Amino acid sequence: MIKINYYHQKKERFFRQAKKTGWLVLLGGAAVWGFFWIPYFKISNIEINNPLIRQSQVNLAFASFFEEKNDFFAPMSNFFLFSSEKAEKIILESDLGVAKVNKKFPNKIELEFLEIKPKFIYCNEDCFYANKTGFLYELAPSFTENPIPFIETGSEVKKIGDYILSLKEAEFLADFLSEVSRMDLNAETISVENDFKIFLKQNWHIILLKNEPRSGAELAEKLKLILEQKVKNSSLEYIDMRFPNKAFYKLK
């Protein structure tokens, strides 16, 4: 009988100790998990070393990344979990350029842009590169065949430091052209007047609204359907996509 009582007492002590250890592990894990949610360590300050890149562009590029959680549902925006390597990849994929991302304790990152990706070329007496915001930032060489689209804005002469398009117009065009390039359609010249006329290297053009409420991706998808279902292998002169529920096209 004494042996039986001793066995039960030992078993009870073991379960009490295991329960105590379990609670300690659980509380310790909760404390560590809660640590990653402390606002003081949340990345909230982004410093950009290049005036050609707007804060709003970087914020937009990082928006979904800052909302991500890891496998333990801890926020990736926490200073200790934030990945500089992934942030650099996001910047590259957003077409802003090439940047080095450095973390600064406790809640800051510094973006050092090593290269800005040109999206357009503008010419008057000289030619200049423009970035995704439409900002003229550098002299461009003369090309026998332009690798990126030329922008024609009328008679007003622009120079380095000027914007050839509004931010909304430039980003819309850049996004639309990026999408249609996946369909092997390449812009050669873009005429900016009352509307956008995008002249393609495939010898036809697309007409779009300047103040287009739809996204570039949405319009590109609509263009793809028109080419696949309506035009097919016919020779085009233009497609007019300025109307919300219709698209007009003319064959040669």
Question: Alpha-carbon distance 201 to 51, whole Å?
Answer: 33
Question: Alpha-carbon distance 118 to 91, whole Å?
Answer: 14
Please state, for a pLDDT cut of 90, what percent of the chain lies above it. 42
75-95 average pLDDT score: 90
Strand, coil or helix: 96: coil
Between 100 and 125, name the one with better pLDDT: 100
- Which token pair is 107? 């809640």
* Confidence (pTM): 0.65
Question: Alpha-carbon distance 23 to 20, whole Å?
Answer: 5
Strand, coil or helix: 58: helix
Strand, coil or helix: 62: helix
Given a cut of 90, whether residue 173 has pLDDT beyond it is yes
Given a cut of 80, whether residue 89 has pLDDT beyond it is yes
107-113 average pLDDT score: 93
- The reported pLDDT for the residue numbered 145 is 75
Strand, coil or helix: 167: helix
Between 39 and 154, name the one with better pLDDT: 39
In this structure, the dihedral spanned by the alpha carbons of residues 22, 23, 28 and 34, taken in order and rounded to 10 degrees, is 120
Determine the number of helices (DSSP H) and then strands (DSSP E) in the chain: 5, 12
- In order of their start, the domains of the chain are 39-116 (3.10.20), 120-251 (3.40.50)
**pLDDT tens, residue by residue, 6-17:** 555 666 665 666
- The reported pLDDT for the residue numbered 153 is 85
- For residue 95, what pLDDT band results from cuts at 50, 70 and 90? confident
| Average confidence score pLDDT of the chain | 85
**pLDDT tens, residue by residue, 223-249:** 999 999 888 777 899 999 999 888 899
Cα atoms found within 13 Å of the Cα of residue 142, Cβ hemisphere only:
4
- The reported pLDDT for the residue numbered 104 is 94
